Structure 1
Amino acid sequence: MVSSCSPRDESAPDGPRVSGNDGEAAAPAPVATVPVSGPERTVLALGDSLYAGYGLSRGQSLPDAIQARLRAAGINARLVNAGVSGDTSGDGRRRLGYTLDRLGKKPDLVLLGLGGNDVLRQLDPKVTRDNLAAMLDELQKRGIPVVLTGMLAPPNLGPDYAGTFNAIYPELARQHHAPLYPFILDGVLGNRTLMLPDGVHPNARGVARIADRVTPVVRKALAETSED
């Protein structure tokens, strides 16, 4: 099964948006255990359809789900969803600077997840690596920490392609000292109860599963930024 994202959804908003919880929820929202406190922490989620919430109702995207979990834990977090369906790593590279400048303030953290559409189009893994490395360099230059969510190439593309592509994320994470969630669809891809009918994108329950696993990585990264 090809673990990649859809072509660009032209109905999706072009700019980043603040996550909210006003959409229909198929998975129960986390219940707050402690009051939200402390200064607001802004997380920019820059990615493709897996961040944008392809095929889901408003408020059901991955950034929405992560924000809800952070706030349920008492963390005053605001996630800005800059996911665009169909984006390749090259598209993300071209809009990174503009997106950061539009925020009006430097985010406390960037959640970066691109590369699925590179696999879909079978782009040269070197191109993907160069694009991701350039984005990580730019974020480092601006003094913005990053959490990287990785992608894996399906075996049917051959061992050479898969081996080269799959090495991109762990190697770049080590080089840039960035926390890595190795495969964003881990535990979800292939489970029909957690996927949309296309078999590629998670449904609301699948997003909740991903958020349960990614949120601790984001939470730890935010805690480390507050200590610096």
Structure 2
Amino acid sequence: MHKLQYFTLFIIIALSSACGNSKTASSESDTTATKTVSAQATNTKTILFFGDSLTAGYGLEDPQSEAFPALVQGKIDSLKLPYKIVNGGLSGETSAGGKGRIDWLLRQKVDIFILELGANDGLRGLQTDETAKNLQAIVDKVKTKYPNAKLILTGMMVPPNMGADYANAFKAIFPGIAKKNNMVFLPFLLTNVAGIKDLNQADGIHPTAKGAKIVADNVWGVLKGEL
């Protein structure tokens, strides 16, 4: 390969000596190649997953490859689609914390925004109206910064021991936010995972690597139509 490159370079130099406009042609070719690479990079769109430990891949051996956003990236890559995923998950994040953190992540252009927050609010028994206000504030910031971004919301539920009234009020937050903002809605992120011992870590909350694959399938079910 190197011999071929040297031979090609030799021919270019020889032609350049014989004809003064060859250097210009080579320069134009290089410029065209650079523009092509730049255009390809520009065409790559960004999907931002913004969430808590579920998005971050808490407790997994290798979150960078096993967390569900990484698995969704694998599906995208297998189809050779021009999208890159940014994992904006932070363990322990509440809706209030997310409202304060979102601005930093919006410094990069976002084409598809997937919001997965609220679970920690529910586990702490925080007021559902406050959670709703915080989630709406996050969505408002995304819409203001990137009005053409596609929006997806994942729903969440709390354990029955939180009480039926609270559990119902909490569950109702998400379809309300989705409807108000015309967001694509996944009713429950942990469908076919929650409550299944073999698919969850010892805490009974966070999916194992096997469970994360199912979560990725859940998300892919609503995301693929938006790509």
Whether TM exceeds 0.5 here: the answer is yes
CA drift of 1:117 comes to 0.4
Q: Which blocks of at least 5 consecutive residues in structure 2 are unaligned? A: 1-41
AA matched with 1:71: D
Which residue does 1:193 correspond to in 2? 198
Which residue does 2:20 correspond to in 1? none
Which residue does 1:70 correspond to in 2? 76
Q: 1:137 aligns with which of 137, 140, 148?
A: 140
**Which has a greater percent of helix?**
2
The 8 Å contact of residues 70 and 215 in structure 1, kept in 2 or not, is answered as no
AA matched with 1:197: A
Decide which moves more: 144-153 or 86-95: 144-153
CA distance in 2, matches of 1:151, 1:212: 16
The 8 Å contact of residues 170 and 182 in structure 1, kept in 2 or not, is answered as yes
Which residue does 1:109 correspond to in 2? 112
CA distance in 1, matches of 2:77, 2:152: 18
Which residue does 2:215 correspond to in 1? 210
AA matched with 2:189: I
1:46 equivalent to 2:50? Answer yes
Which residue does 1:161 correspond to in 2? 166
CA distance in 1, matches of 2:218, 2:160: 24
CA distance in 2, matches of 1:176, 1:76: 26
AA matched with 1:112: L
Which residue does 1:122 correspond to in 2? 125
Residue 153 of structure 1: SS of its match in structure 2?
coil
After superposition, the CA RMSD in angstroms is: 1.6
CA distance in 2, matches of 1:66, 1:113: 15
Q: Which blocks of at least 5 consecutive residues in structure 1 are unaligned? A: 1-37, 223-228
CA drift of 1:74 comes to 2.6
Equivalent pairs counted in the alignment come to 183
Decide which moves more: 126-135 or 155-164: 155-164
Look at both structures and tell me which one has the larger radius of gyration over its CA atoms: 2
Residue 207 of structure 2: SS of its match in structure 1?
coil
CA drift of 1:82 comes to 0.8
Larger RCO: 1 or 2 (CA < 8 Å, sep 6+)? 1
CA distance in 2, matches of 1:194, 1:63: 17
AA matched with 1:149: T
The 8 Å contact of residues 189 and 218 in structure 2, kept in 1 or not, is answered as no
TM-score (norm 1): 0.76
Residue 66 of structure 2: SS of its match in structure 1?
coil
AA matched with 1:119: G
CA distance in 1, matches of 2:192, 2:136: 27
The superposition leaves residues 135-193 of structure 1 with CA deviations (integer Å, 9 ceiling, x where unpaired) of 11111222122111111122222222112111110011011000011111111011122
TM-score (norm 2): 0.77
Q: Give the share of equivalent positions with the same residue, in percent.
A: 39
CA drift of 1:201 comes to 0.3
